[in-house]
Structure 1
Amino acid sequence: MVNPLRAQPPGQFIADFLTNFTNAVVHGSEDPSDLMSRYYTRDVVQVADGVRLDWDRLVAHLRPVRRNLRAFRFDVHEAFLDGDRIAARFTIHARMRKGEPMATRVHMFAEFTRDGRLRRAEQLTRSVAPTAPGADG
Structure 2
Amino acid sequence: MTHDETRIFLENLFGLLLDPERPVEDMLHLFTSDYVQIADGKTLDLKDFLAHARTLKSILKSAHVRFEKIITSNNSIADIHIVDAIKKDGSTMTCKVLTFYEMRDGKISRIEELSHLIAGAKEDSDLASRIAH
- Aligned twin of 1:22: 18
Q: Which residue of structure 2 lines up, in the alignment, with residue 134 of structure 1?
A: none
What's the TM-score, normalizing by structure 1? 0.76
Q: Is contact 1:95–1:101 with CA below 8 Å preserved after alignment?
A: yes
Which of residues 58, 81, 100 is equivalent to 1:109?
A: 100
1:90 aligned partner: 81
Per the alignment, residue 71 of structure 2 pairs with 80
SS at match of 1:65: helix
Task: Return the structure number with greater strand share.
Answer: 2
Q: CA deviation at 1:9?
A: 5.1
Q: Which stretches of structure 1, 4 residues or longer, exceed 4 Å deviation after superposition?
A: none
8 Å CA contact 2:70, 2:77 repeated in 1: yes
Same amino acid, percent of matched pairs: 22
Please give the TM-score of this superposition, normalised by the length of structure 2: 0.78
Whether 2:23 is the aligned partner of 1:13: answer: no
Give the unaligned 5+ runs of structure 1.
131-137
Listed one character per residue, the Cα deviations across residues 113-133 of structure 1 (whole Å, up to 9, x for unaligned) are 333x21101101101138xxx
Q: Counterpart in 1 of 2:127?
A: none
Name the counterpart of 1:133.
none
Matched, 1:47 2:43: no
What is the number of equivalent residue pairs in this alignment? 120
- The reply to whether residue 66 of structure 1 matches residue 57 of structure 2 is yes
CA distance in 2 between counterparts of 1:18 and 1:119 reads 16
